[in-house]
């Protein structure tokens, strides 16, 4: 479904030296699978997700999705080809929610981008899907607890009815009961909507048991580990 | 015990913050708008004419703001002059030697309204006082003077109270009452114009000038600030440089220059005020926007698919900076009132015969020497109330619209 | 058996918004001489407050409500004796004497806890001077050096002369531990020392701590939210949830029985996640994570709302969970679990 070929990305250090974070990275993601990515902190897992989604620009390489090379499309086309179908869930939900707008309005605005009818219903559905009570529609982000913020961000990712979700440490920092519930929600939603997940996490026990395939990012390339 | 008190205090404080300031601000603003419209509709007829220098006819105010002149005389009969005409010798008495009337009478009254005065005599063992000189229709009953002036008695009317003490000495207390056709609740200025009418007429400078200055400062300054923070490149340095330069010039210099160049046209001056206020707005909006631009939610907004323009104007400015813009706007109004009053007072703004509160303050200045306080006090109160009104309004609205304070 | 620390029926609470929120309920805990005890709990479980109570550092009103704490058979806290003013004063005085001297504590993130503008050896000298002004500079530095050597640092001299930002992660951790052990405490409290570390580094750090404590006969109280930390490295584990001790067991010879501990274990070894993956929609009693009862109501058993075991019970049995608070019941070999139905 998504084929990454020879992805390269290097950063410049303060003293001018170049650090290659991604070196000729190759991977093919299958439809409907849960792909787990592990690796040391700072090794480039987040960079990988972000370059595929064109939130950062890679140096070279191609990413084929439905026959289109995502690295080559223009900024205008990004909206329709990437943003709608390939959604990114940020590591820190507090930072990705607009503090000045209610959860419901945020969902509505997102929905309006790609749909035109039954907007209110879609908002209600997405809240239910992630297990947030309907009243939370009119809450501001600072009124929500950590777990609830994550669910709000997840709802926002799901409301555009994407095909793939790239999640950066979605379960970290939560207590175990909340983690278990969120994992269950994730899995239920995947079953319901036939989604493909790419999960980045450092929690071995979660990644090992939830993923269909596991890859380790090391030395700038992805290597498969036996799951 | 301690727990409960704390809770009541915090609840009380937050209630006041939420409703009190906003309510006050809205009330004052509505009064100003009403006065504006009222004065526009009625034009020059607004200002009633009367005798100059009249103290306020509302007795409370007159008591507070005016001490009338009461002349006191000792009356002695001239033994040598009997039969030759005026046999009375009047010697004026100082207020320090003797105080014939302990309370002060009202010295103005409108026709048709009852004038009553119960003098408190400052002599021991006195007989009843009589009216030696009094306008027609004035009578004394049980130590109280009553009178209803009619239209023939408009103008100055002398009243003389004759008293004698137990030693047989005779005294006289003399003062005059001014009768007017119209009612002047706040008195009149030197030229006889009703102060209340003048204040209503002057209110027209509270809204429109502020509107001009605020529009320029908020829209242009806000736009510049937002754009320079969001795009953060060459544009940012240029705009910040302009803002710093403008800020460094003292406000009044710009105002004086425009006043001189446009022959004291207050509306053009307000454009200048807007330019003066622009850098502050620009800087505040810029720093607010910068705060959010650094915030990851801006990138997550692009990840959702929102366009850059929408992110800046809706997500950052409208959702988050709205409250700051509103309170800055009301501050611009308050500032404009202050500038208008200052330049009019100095003679560089609104010119006579046009009326503004600043002009009233200027006119009233010399009257202060004559103890005619009301010509300064009431315009000053009006100015203070208007400025405070806008400030409260700003504070109240900011509370209401700031999402983080909910 | 002599004990280092003994906490009995400790209740701690704080006023907020006109109400009193109780953060510790009848918490009892024993750290025997030369043993390693673990406290496992998530955020809000009360583990930090337990530690602070031993050190006498609880701030806020009313703070300690009732309970007893003994250090080596001497009461440092006893709310049943004397007046409130008196026991508070004694509590303050005694804990002040113990802090840093006999009881030492390390927190997570070693690098952030070191003073950034002093070299390690200067910090060692300052620390020791605070505690006991007797030893000379050279003696202190020698102590520090040998401690670092015991922690398998090959060039302790260089580490001593460095500033914290010049040290690697592992080196600064060892320096931090060294500073805590300089005063030869008899009890070391480690409050979530592994929070920011991955599994491998966490195990390394805990092994270092364990070795030092065994060698120097220091008792260890290890606090963590990760079950793997305490299972491998302690002799007995206390499971805290919402200010209650739900289970007390020794990992070497008993598998826990309390539903909460079992849930934590199933998350750690991934069994629960495997089951969820196999069938996410299942309403199986173990995997069903939907809440019991009403979110806002308080039930007698603090875990009832989240308990998967209770869903398999009859209504009558569930009533017991809702209305009667389960106490820690005794089993053999010193294991206790606060659940009516897990026996």
Contact assignment for B4 to C15 by CB distance below 8 Å: no
Residue C34: asked if its preceding bond is cis (omega within 30°), the reply is no
Contact assignment for C267 to A209 by CB distance below 8 Å: no
Q: Which of C132-136, C180-184, C330-334 has the lowest mean pLDDT?
A: C330-334
Domain B59-180 in CATH: superfamily? Immunoglobulins (2.60.40.10)
Domain that holds residue C313: 254-337
Contact assignment for B315 to A98 by CB distance below 8 Å: yes
CA dihedral C115, C120, C121, C123 (to 10 degrees): 20
Strand bridging mode A86-89 / A164-168:
parallel
Q: Residue C184: how many CA atoms within 13 Å on its side-chain side?
A: 6
Burial letters for A127-166: b for 16+ Cβ neighbours within 10 Å, e otherwise? Answer: bebbbbeeebbebbbeebeebbbbbbbbbbbbbbebbbbb
The DSSP bridge partners found for residue A64 are A3, A69
* CA distance to B58, B149, B371, C247, per residue, from B49 (Å): 17, 19, 21, 93
Is C160 inside a domain boundary? yes
pLDDT of residue C157: 87
Contact assignment for A206 to C270 by CB distance below 8 Å: yes
Which residues from C are below 8 Å from A176, CB to CB? 42, 263-264, 267
CA torsion through residues A50, A52, A55, A59, sign: positive
Which residue, among B364, B366, B357, has the nearest Cα to B189 in the 3D structure? Answer: B364
**Among C47, C226, C268, C276, which would you mutate to test the A interface (most chain A Cβ atoms within 10 Å of its Cβ)?**
C276
The full set of domain ranges for chain B reads 2-49+195-405, 59-180
Is C18 inside a domain boundary? yes
Which residues from B are below 8 Å from C17, CB to CB? 7
C285 — pLDDT class (breaks 50, 70, 90): very low
Delineate the domains of chain A, giving CATH numbers in brackets.
2-225 (3.40.50.300)
Which residues from A are below 8 Å from B315, CB to CB? 98, 100-101
Contact A45, A167 (CB under 8 A): no
Neighbours of C259 (CB within 10 A): 23
| Statement to judge: residues C21 and C92 lie in one domain | yes
| Statement to judge: residues C141 and C289 lie in one domain | no
Nearest chain A CA: its distance from B318 CA (Å)? 9
Strand (E) or helix (H) holding A153: helix A146-158
Tokens of A227: 């799951």
Contact C28, C9 (CB under 8 A): yes
Percent of chain C with pLDDT over 90: 13
Which residues from B are below 8 Å from A96, CB to CB? 296-297, 300
The DSSP bridge partners found for residue A213 are A35
| Statement to judge: residues C97 and C195 lie in one domain | yes
In chain C, the DSSP E strands lie at: 3-16, 19-32, 36-40, 62-71, 74-78, 103-106, 187-191, 219-224, 236-241, 244-249, 329-330, 336-337
Q: Which of B102-116, C7-21, C293-307 has the lowest mean pLDDT?
A: C293-307
Write the secondary structure of C262-312 as one string of H (helix), E (strand) and C (coil).
Answer: HHHHHHHCCHHHHHHHHCCCCCCCCCCCCCCCCCCCCCCCCCHHHCCCHHH
pLDDT of residue C293: 67
ipTM entry: 0.80
Residue A163, φ and ψ in degrees, nearest 5:
-100, -30
**Among C270, C283, C295, C308, which would you mutate to test the A interface (most chain A Cβ atoms within 10 Å of its Cβ)?**
C270
Distance CA C188, CA C4 (A): 11
Tokens of C329: 């019941």
The DSSP bridge partners found for residue A69 are A64
Is C138 inside a domain boundary? yes
Q: How far apart are the first and last CA of chain A?
A: 20
Distance CA C237, CA C232 (A): 11
CA torsion through residues B134, B137, B142, B145, sign: negative
Q: Chain-wide mean pLDDT for chain B?
A: 85
Distance CA A45, CA C339 (A): 43
Rounded to two decimals, the pTM is 0.75
- Length reported for chain C: 343
Contact C159, C173 (CB under 8 A): no
| Statement to judge: residues C89 and C189 lie in one domain | yes
| Statement to judge: residues C241 and C258 lie in one domain | no
Residue the block writes with tokens 């102060």: B195
Strand (E) or helix (H) holding B113: none
| Statement to judge: residues C167 and C305 lie in one domain | no
Which range is most confident: B110-114, B279-283, C123-127, C193-197? B279-283
Contact B173, B71 (CB under 8 A): yes
Per-residue pLDDT for B334 more than 60? yes
Which residues from C are below 8 Å from A187, CB to CB? 276-277, 280
CATH assignment at residue C68: 3.40.50.300
**Among A98, A160, A168, which would you mutate to test the B interface (most chain B Cβ atoms within 10 Å of its Cβ)?**
A98
Percent of chain B with pLDDT over 70: 92
Nearest chain B CA: its distance from C64 CA (Å)? 18
Nearest to B403 among A53, A95, A100 (CB): A100
Contact C37, C28 (CB under 8 A): no
Contact A209, A178 (CB under 8 A): no
Question: What DSSP character marks residue B403?
Answer: G
Percent of chain B with pLDDT over 90: 25
Residue B315, φ and ψ in degrees, nearest 5:
-65, -45
The total of structural domains in chain C comes to: 3
Residues of A with a Cβ under 8 Å from any C Cβ are 40-41, 175-177, 179-181, 183-184, 187-188, 190-191, 202, 204-206, 208-210
* pLDDT tens digits, one per residue of C187-236: 999 998 887 777 888 888 899 899 989 988 899 999 998 888 888 889 99
Tokens of B263: 């022959």
In B202-244, the DSSP E strands lie at: none
Q: Which residues of chain A have pLDDT under 70?
A: 42, 226-227
| Closest C-chain CA to B4 | C18
Which residues from A are below 8 Å from B403, CB to CB? 99-101, 140
pLDDT of residue B221: 92
Looking at chain A from residue 121 to 150, which residues have their Cβ under 8 Å from any Cβ of chain B? 140, 142
Which residues from A are below 8 Å from C287, CB to CB? 184
Distance CA C335, CA C236 (A): 9
Which residue, among A198, A205, A203, has the nearest Cα to A4 in the 3D structure? Answer: A198
Per-residue pLDDT for B16 more than 80? no
pLDDT of residue C39: 94
Per-residue pLDDT for C289 more than 80? no
* pLDDT tens digits, one per residue of B134-143: 888 888 888 8
| Closest C-chain CA to A187 | C280
Number of helices (H), then strands (E), belonging to chain C: the values are 12, 12
Distance CA B191, CA A98 (A): 61
| Statement to judge: residues C258 and C330 lie in one domain | yes
Tokens of C272: 């629960």
* pLDDT tens digits, one per residue of B35-75: 988 888 887 677 888 888 888 888 788 888 888 888 888 88
Residue the block writes with tokens 């010295």: B107
- Interface membership of B102 toward C (CB under 8 Å): no
| Closest A-chain CA to B323 | A100
pLDDT of residue C315: 84
Q: At what angle do helices B234-248 and B222-231 cross, to 10 degrees?
A: 140
B271 — pLDDT class (breaks 50, 70, 90): very high
CA angle C324, C326, C332 (to 5 degrees): 150
Under the phi-then-psi rule, with left for phi > 0, alpha for psi from -120 to 50, and beta for the rest, what region is C38? beta
Contact C319, C313 (CB under 8 A): no
Nearest chain C CA: its distance from B4 CA (Å)? 7
Q: How far apart are the first and last CA of chain B?
A: 28
**Among A171, A184, A185, A191, which would you mutate to test the C interface (most chain C Cβ atoms within 10 Å of its Cβ)?**
A184
Question: What DSSP character marks residue A143?
Answer: G
Nearest chain B CA: its distance from C88 CA (Å)? 21
Domain B2-49+195-405 in CATH: superfamily? MetI-like (1.10.3720.10)
**Among A77, A96, A144, which would you mutate to test the B interface (most chain B Cβ atoms within 10 Å of its Cβ)?**
A96
Nearest chain A CA: its distance from C52 CA (Å)? 22
pLDDT of residue B2: 45
């Amino acid at each position: 479904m998504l084929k990454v070929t020879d992805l390269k990305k290097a950063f410049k250090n303060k003293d001018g030296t170049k650090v290659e974070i991604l070196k000729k990275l190759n991977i093919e993601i299958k439809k409907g699978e849960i792909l787990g990515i592990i690796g040391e902190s700072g090794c480039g897992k987040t960079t990988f997700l972000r370059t595929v989604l064109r939130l950062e620009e890679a140096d070279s390489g191609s990413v084929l999705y439905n026959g289109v090379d995502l690295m080559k499309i223009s900024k205008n086309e990004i909206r329709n080809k990437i943003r709608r179908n390939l959604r990114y869930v940020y590591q820190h939900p507090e930072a990705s929610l607009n503090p000045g707008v209610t959860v419901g309005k945020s969902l509505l605005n997102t929905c309006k981008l790609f749909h035109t009818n039954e907007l209110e219903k879609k908002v209600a559905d997405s809240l239910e899907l992630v297990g947030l009570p309907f009243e939370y529609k009119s809450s501001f982000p600072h009124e929500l607890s950590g777990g609830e913020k994550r669910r709000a961000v997840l709802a926002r990712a799901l409301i555009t009815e994407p095909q793939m979700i790239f999640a950066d440490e979605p379960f970290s920092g939560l207590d175990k009961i909340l983690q278990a519930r969120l994992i269950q929600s994730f899995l239920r939603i995947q079953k319901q909507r036939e989604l493909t997940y790419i999960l980045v996490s450092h929690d071995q026990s979660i990644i090992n048991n939830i993923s269909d395939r596991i890859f380790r990012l090391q030395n700038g390339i992805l290597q498969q580990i036996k799951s | 015990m301690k727990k409960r008190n704390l809770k009541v205090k915090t609840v009380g404080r937050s209630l006041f913050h939420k409703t009190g300031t906003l309510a006050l601000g809205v009330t004052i603003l509505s009064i100003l708008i009403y006065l504006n419209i009222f004065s526009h509709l009625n034009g020059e007829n607004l200002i009633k004419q009367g005798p100059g220098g009249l103290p306020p006819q509302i007795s409370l105010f007159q008591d507070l703001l005016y001490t009338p002149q009461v002349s006191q005389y000792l009356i002695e009969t001239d033994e040598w002059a009997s039969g030759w005409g005026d046999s009375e010798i009047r010697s004026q008495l100082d207020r320090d030697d003797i105080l014939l009337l302990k309370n002060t009478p009202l010295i103005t009254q409108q026709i048709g309204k009852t004038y009553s005065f119960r003098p408190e005599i400052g002599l021991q063992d006195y007989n009843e006082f009589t009216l030696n000189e009094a306008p027609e229709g004035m009578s004394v009953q049980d130590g109280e003077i009553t009178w209803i002036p009619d239209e023939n008695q408009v103008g100055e009317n002398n009243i003389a109270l004759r008293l004698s003490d137990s030693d047989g000495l005779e005294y006289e207390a003399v003062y005059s009452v001014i009768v007017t056709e119209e009612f002047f609740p706040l008195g009149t200025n030197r030229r006889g114009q009703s102060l209340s009418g003048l204040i209503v007429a002057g209110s027209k400078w509270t809204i429109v000038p502020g509107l001009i200055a605020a529009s320029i400062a908020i829209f242009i300054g806000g736009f510049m600030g937002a754009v320079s923070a969001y795009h953060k490149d060459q544009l940012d340095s240029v705009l910040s440089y302009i803002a710093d330069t403008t800020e460094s010039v003292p406000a009044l210099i710009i105002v004086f220059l425009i006043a001189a160049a446009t022959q004291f046209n207050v509306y053009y001056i307000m454009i200048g005020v807007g330019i003066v206020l622009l850098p502050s707005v620009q800087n505040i909006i810029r720093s607010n926007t910068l705060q959010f631009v650094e915030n990851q939610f801006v990138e997550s907004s692009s990840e959702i698919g929102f366009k850059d323009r929408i992110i800046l104007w809706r997500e950052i400015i409208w959702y988050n900076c709205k409250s700051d813009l509103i309170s800055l706007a009301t501050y611009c109004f308050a500032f404009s009132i202050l500038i208008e009053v200052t330049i009019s007072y100095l003679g560089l703004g609104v010119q006579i015969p046009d009326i503004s509160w600043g002009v009233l303050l200027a006119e009233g200045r010399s009257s202060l020497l004559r103890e005619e306080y009301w010509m300064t006090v009431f315009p000053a109160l009006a100015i203070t109330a208007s400025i405070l009104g806008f400030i409260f309004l700003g504070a109240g609205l900011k509370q209401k619209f700031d999402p983080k304070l909910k | 058996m002599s004990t280092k620390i003994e906490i009995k029926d400790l209740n701690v609470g704080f006023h907020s918004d006109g109400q009193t929120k109780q953060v510790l309920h009848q918490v009892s805990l024993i750290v025997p001489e030369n043993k390693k005890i673990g406290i496992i709990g998530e955020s809000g479980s009360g583990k930090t407050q337990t530690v602070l109570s031993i050190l006498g550092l609880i701030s806020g009103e009313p703070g300690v409500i009732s309970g007893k704490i003994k250090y080596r058979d001497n009461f440092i806290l006893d709310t049943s004796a004397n007046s409130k003013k008196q026991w508070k004063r004694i509590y303050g005085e005694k804990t002040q004497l113990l802090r840093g001297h006999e009881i030492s504590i390390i927190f997570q993130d070693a690098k952030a806890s070191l003073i950034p503008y002093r070299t390690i050896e200067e910090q060692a000298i300052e620390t020791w001077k605070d505690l006991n002004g007797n030893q000379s500079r050279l003696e202190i530095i020698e102590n520090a050096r040998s401690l670092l050597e015991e922690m398998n640092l090959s060039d302790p001299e260089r580490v001593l002369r460095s500033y914290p930002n010049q040290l690697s992660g592992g080196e600064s951790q060892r320096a931090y531990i060294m500073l805590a052990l300089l005063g030869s405490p008899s009890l070391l409290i480690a409050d979530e020392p592994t929070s920011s570390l991955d599994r491998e580094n966490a195990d390394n750090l805990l092994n270092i701590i364990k070795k030092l404590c065994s060698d120097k006969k220091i008792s260890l109280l290890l606090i963590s939210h990760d079950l793997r930390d305490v299972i491998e490295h302690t002799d007995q584990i206390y499971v805290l949830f919402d200010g209650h001790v739900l289970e007390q067991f020794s990992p070497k010879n008993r598998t826990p029985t309390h539903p909460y501990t079992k849930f934590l274990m199933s998350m750690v070894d991934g069994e629960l996640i495997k089951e969820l993956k196999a069938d996410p929609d299942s309403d199986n009693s173990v995997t069903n994570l939907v809440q019991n009862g009403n979110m806002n109501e308080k039930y007698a058993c603090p875990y009832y709302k989240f308990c998967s075991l209770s869903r398999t019970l009859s209504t009558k049995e569930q009533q017991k969970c809702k209305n009667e608070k389960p106490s820690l019941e005794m089993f053999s070999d010193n294991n206790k679990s606060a659940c009516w139905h897990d026996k």
